[in-house]
Amino acid sequence: MPPTGIATPTAPPRPSRLIAEALVQRHGPHRIAKRAARLGLSPQLTVAMVAACGQTAVDPSAAPRRPAVGTP
């Protein structure tokens, strides 16, 4: 615990956390870009993040597989 009267710096959220949350919560490109802008991320990084998350969203191999009906 820090001593009283000393401010503890708060680190800004890392881009990897934004990407992880976007993938898990299945955010769309608009929401990803809006949150990245609010966090002050660069436009170049925002474009790369939206592209990466979008590619994962349309990649069928990234989706969890469900067993066929009646499969033990």
- DSSP class per residue in the chain: -PPTTPPPP-PPPPHHHHHHHHHHTT--HHHHHHHHHHTT--HHHHHHHHHHHHHHHH-GGGSPP-PPTT--
The answer to which of 7-11, 14-18, 59-63 has the lowest mean pLDDT is 59-63
pLDDT value of position 45: 92
- pLDDT for the residue numbered 53: 85
Work out the pLDDT band at 23, boundaries 50, 70, 90.
Answer: confident
pTM of the model: 0.60
Convert the pLDDT of each residue in 25-64 to its tens digit: 888 889 999 999 998 999 999 999 888 887 776 666 655 5
